[in-house]
Structure 1
Amino acid sequence: MSIVMKPNDAAWMFIEKPEQPCHVASLSVFSPPPGAASDYVRQLVAQFEATRVFAPPFNYVLRRGVRGKLVPTWDELPADQIDLEYHFRHSALPAPGGELELGKLVSRLHSHALDFRRPLWELHLIEGLEHGRFAIYMKLHHSQMDGMAGVALWNRVMSLDADARNCQAPWAVGLKSSGPKNDRQKPSQAEKNPGNPAAAMLPALQAIGDLVKAAKNPEHPLQAMPYGAPRSVLNGRIHGQRRVATQTYTLARIQAVARKAEVSVNDVFLAICGGGLRRYLMEQGKLPLASLTAGLPVSVRPAGDVSVGNAISFMFAKLCTDIADPLARLRGCHESTALAKEHLQRMPKDVMESYTMLAMGPYLAQVALGLAGFGRPSHNLIVSNVPGERRPQYFNGARLEQLYPISALFNGQAVNISVFSCGGNFSLGFVGCRDSLPSIQKLAVYTGAALSDLEAALSTSRE
C-alpha cells in the first residue's frame, strides 16, 4: 500500500539536509527486574533479533525517484525486505557506564542521519550502564512521529504490570497507519470545502494579525510573536554533529514549586529553562538584552489517537531571560504563556492547521531554502513539554526509570530543550550543535541550579 504524506509531515522531508537531519529520538533507561538472570539483557536481545513482524511506521520506506521527491509518499515493505540486523543494534558502554559514557554514545548516534533507502528508524539496545541497568535509544524520522505519538508508542509497548513478560519489540507494535482508511478525526469544515481555501486561511491571517497587534501593545510586554525574538548565538548556522545532555528531577519536586507559586508545571519548566539559558549565555558574554522567545509545540492530536504522523501547532512565549530574580522570571513566564494560550484558544479548530502553516511556514521555508540562520530568528529555540504515563511502567519486568526526548536541530536553531514526564520523573533532554554551542552539559546543570534557586526563593518568600 502507498500513502501520500500530509503536508505537515512532508515538510520534514523538504527541510532534511546533511547538517540538519530531521530525526527525533528517545532514550529510555531501565532497571532489570529483581532477581533477574545474569543473561537477562542477552535474552532481551535474542527476543528482539527473533521479532520479524513490522508495524507502521517501521515498515514504511520513502518512495524513490522524481515523484517521491515532489510528492513524498510512503510505500509499505513486506517483512522479508526489511533488514533487521541493520535497524536493530546491540551496544555496550565502557566502564564505569555512567552518564558521561552514555551521553557520548548517544551524542554520536544522534549525529548520524537515517538511511533514506530503508525504513527510517534505528533502535539501539545499550547495556553496561551502572547498577546493571540498560538503555534503549530509538530514533525515527520526524515526518513519522511527533512527541505525543512517541509517548503513545511507548505506552503501547510497555506494561503497568511488573510481572508481565509478553511485551513486544517496538517495531512489532508500532502505531496505526496514516493511510486514508485510518483518518485521525472527522473532516473539519475547511477540509470539507477544499475548493475554498479562504474558509480557513482568512481567519488564520486575522489570527496572525491579532497576535502581532497584541505583541506591539505596550500594555502586554510579555506577549510574544513570530519574528519578535532577539538575535542570539543560538540562532546561527549549524553543522551535523550533536551533543546530548540530560537532567532528571522528580515530578513531585516540580509540582511542589508550581503549587507554592500558584502556576502550572509547564510555567516552572519554562522558568528553569530561562534561568539556565540566562546563566549559560551570561557566562559567554552573549546574553541578549531582550528576553529569548521560545516556540512551544502544542498537540492538536485527538485523545486516543495513536496514528503515524504529526498533529501539532505552535504558540510563542518569552522565557524572561532578561529578568534576574527567579520568582519574577517565573511570574513573567506564567503571564507570557497565559497570553499565548488565550490567543490560541480563541481560534476555531478548523483554522488551526492554516494558522500553524502561516506562523511556522516562513521559517520552514527559510530552512528548506538554506536561508535560515542569517537574519532575525522566528524564535530562539523550541521548548517542548510532553506528558506521559505517571504510573510505573515495565518492559518484560524491567522498570522504566527515565524516558528522555531527544529532538532535531535546524539552521537558526542550535539548541532544543524537551521534557517527558513519566513514572513520577521529569526528564529533560538537551540537544545542541556540537560546533555552535560549547559544553551543552553546562546548560543542563544550570537548568537544575535554576530550579534550586526557585525553591530557595519560594521558601524565603513564605517565611
Structure 2
Amino acid sequence: MTQTFHERLSALDAIFLDLENETAAMHVGVVLLFDAKPLTLDSGGLDMERITKYTLAALDTMPRYRQRLAWVPGFAHPVWVEDGRFNINFHLRHTRLPLPGDERMLKRLVGRLFSQRLDRSRPLWEFWIVEGIENDQFALVGKAHHCMVDGVAGVGLIEALLQMTPVVTEKEPSSWTPRPAPTRRQLLRAEVKHRIDGLRKLSYFGPRIRENFLGVARVLQSGMKAGPESPFTAPDISPYRRFDWTSFDLDEVKAVKRSLGGTINDVVVATTTAAIRRFLEARDLDVDSMEGFRAFLPVSTRKTSGGPTGNQVAMLLAELPVSEPDPLERLKKVIAVTTKLKKESNQTAGAELLEDVADLTTKRLILDISREAIKRHAYNVVVTNIPGPPLRLYMLGAELKAMYPLVPIPPTQNLGIALFSYNGELYWGFNGDWEGFPDLHEFVETLEASFEEYKQLAAASAPEASAGPRPDLSG
C-alpha cells in the first residue's frame, strides 16, 4: 500500500493564509533581469522549451513547489499534500512587452502581475518569463505565497535555479509520482495527536517563559500601540498594486556605515526614515511633532541557509525618528532603536516563544495579535532587508543583471519596502497600493536623495576630507 503524505503548516505559515483577503494578497515576489542573448533562438524569441525543462528539473530539489493546500476537518488548519494534477505549464508562464519595452512598461506589468492572488487549489507559485525588454534583456517575475517561504528561504530557491558560472549545467527532470493524500479521518487523527503532544511539551517551556517573559510583554505592548495617521496607512486598501525599484552601490552603503557608524541595516533604516520625513514634509504634514511612526522589521531566526522552507522569522516593531531634522542625529537614534530591539528588550526571543507555543497549540494565539496590530495601525510601513548572494549568477548561461524583491502589504498598509543584496549592489523593491499610494515613484526619488545626503556626510567626515563646518543637509 502506498504511503500517504501530508505536512502540517506551522502556526506562523498558516496565519499568512488567514491574513489574506480580497484586497491584500500575501505572496512574496521578485523580479530577476537577465541578459537575453544566451537564451535567444536563431529564429528570434526565447527558448521557452529549454527554460521549461530546466525549471522542471530544478523542482526536484524543491518539493514544496509540487504541493497544494488541504485542510484538517473541524480544526481548519492547513496542511501540504502533493498535487496529483501538477502541470508545469500552469505555473511557468510566458508573455512579452510591446515596444519599446522600457523599464516603465515593465514596472506597470509587474504591478499587475503582483496584484493577482494565487490559486489556492494549486501549488502556490507562479513564474512569468517576460520577453521584449530593452537592451536585450528578459525578466523572470516570481511569486510564491508567504505561507511557503520567507525572504531567506526564497534566497535558497533562487540559488537552486541559478549557477555561479556561465558554463551551462543541465539536468534531466526526474520522473515524479505524487503520493496520495490522507483521508479526512487520518488528517483529523494526526491533528488531534499534534495538539495533545503539544500540550505535553508545554510543560518544558517553564524556564524559557521565565527567561523571555519581558520580551513577550514588549512584543504584546508594541503590537497594541496605535501609530500616527499618515499617507502610509489607510482604513482599507485596493486590490491593485504599483511596483517600483532602485539600487545602490553596496560599497557606498558600507562607506556610509564605516564613516558614520551603525550597520548596513541601520543605514537602510536611517535612509528610509529620512525619505519618509521628506515625503511627509512635501505634503505639508507636521513631521516635527510626529511621534510613534513605526516600521515593521521582520528578523530572520533561520539558523542556516539550508533547511526547510516556510517562515522562520520574528516580527519586530521599530519606532523611526521621523521628527528628527538632523540626519546624523537621526542615524544615531536609529542605531539606538535597533540595538535596543536586538539586545536589550529581547523581543526576538519573545516573538519566537509566542510562535512556538502557537505552533504546539493553536495559531489563534498569534493570529489575533497580528489582526489587532493591523487594525490599530501598530506600524506604518514594512521594511525587510534580505542578504543575498555576493557573486555574479547565471541561468542557462544568461547573466543575472538585477533582482528586485517584493514584500506583501497587509490590509491597512499602503507601502512595503524590501531589499536584496546581490553582486555588490543593494536592490530595493517598493510595493505600493495603486489607489492609496499613487506617488510611489516620488517616494523612490526622495529615498535616492536621502541616501545621497548620507553619502555627502560620510565623505565630509572621512579622514582625508578637508576641515571645515559640516554642510547643512537637514531634511
| Distance in 2 (alpha carbons) for counterparts of 1:39 and 1:250 | 37
1:34 Cα offset (Å): 6.9
Distance 1:68 1:135, change over 3 A: farther
> What is the one-letter code of the residue matched to 1:61?
R
| Distance in 2 (alpha carbons) for counterparts of 1:138 and 1:271 | 29
1:365 has 2:368 as partner = yes
From 89, 105, 112, the equivalent of 1:85 is: 89
Which 10-residue stretch deviates more, 304-313 or 204-213? 204-213
| Distance in 1 (alpha carbons) for counterparts of 2:442 and 2:347 | 39
1:348 Cα offset (Å): 5.7
1:3 Cα offset (Å): 1.2
Q: How many residues of Structure 1 are paired with residues of Structure 2 in the alignment?
A: 425
Indicate the percent of aligned positions where both proteins have the same amino acid.
25
| Corresponding residue for residue 247 of structure 2 | 248
Compute the TM-score of the two structures, normalised by the length of structure 2.
0.81
Distance 1:426 1:442, change over 3 A: same
| Distance in 2 (alpha carbons) for counterparts of 1:405 and 1:440 | 16
Which 10-residue stretch deviates more, 393-402 or 137-146? 393-402
1:327 Cα offset (Å): 2.0
| Corresponding residue for residue 138 of structure 1 | 142
| Corresponding residue for residue 230 of structure 2 | 232
| Corresponding residue for residue 76 of structure 2 | 70
Deviation track 1:221-270 (CA, whole Å, cap 9, x = no partner) reads: xxx77626333332222121111110111111111111111221111111
Which 10-residue stretch deviates more, 99-108 or 429-438? 429-438
From 147, 157, 160, the equivalent of 1:153 is: 157
- Counting only pairs closer than 5 Å after superposition, residues 57-456 of structure 1 correspond to structure 2 as 57-63=64-70, 67=73, 70-78=76-84, 81-166=85-170, 194-196=201-203, 199=206, 200-201=208-209, 203-209=211-217, 227=225, 229-236=227-234, 237-286=236-285, 288=287, 289-290=290-291, 292-343=293-344, 352-354=352-354, 364-365=367-368, 376-456=376-456
Unaligned 5+ residue runs, structure 1? 173-189, 214-223
Unaligned 5+ residue runs, structure 2? 177-196, 467-475
| Distance in 2 (alpha carbons) for counterparts of 1:445 and 1:210 | 35
1:343 Cα offset (Å): 2.9
Instruction: Judge conservation of contact 1:52–1:84 (CA < 8 Å) in 2.
Output: yes
Instruction: Judge conservation of contact 2:69–2:121 (CA < 8 Å) in 1.
Output: yes
Instruction: Judge conservation of contact 2:218–2:347 (CA < 8 Å) in 1.
Output: no
Instruction: Judge conservation of contact 2:382–2:409 (CA < 8 Å) in 1.
Output: no
| Corresponding residue for residue 186 of structure 1 | none
Structure possessing the higher radius of gyration over alpha carbons: 2
Instruction: Judge conservation of contact 2:298–2:383 (CA < 8 Å) in 1.
Output: yes
Deviation track 1:395-434 (CA, whole Å, cap 9, x = no partner) reads: 1111111111111111222211110001111000011111
1:63 is paired with a residue whose SS is: strand
Instruction: Judge conservation of contact 1:32–1:397 (CA < 8 Å) in 2.
Output: no
Instruction: Judge conservation of contact 2:275–2:446 (CA < 8 Å) in 1.
Output: yes
1:60 Cα offset (Å): 1.1
1:15 has 2:19 as partner = yes
- Cα RMSD over matched residues? 3.1
Deviation track 1:92-142 (CA, whole Å, cap 9, x = no partner) reads: 112222220110000000001011111111110011111101110010110
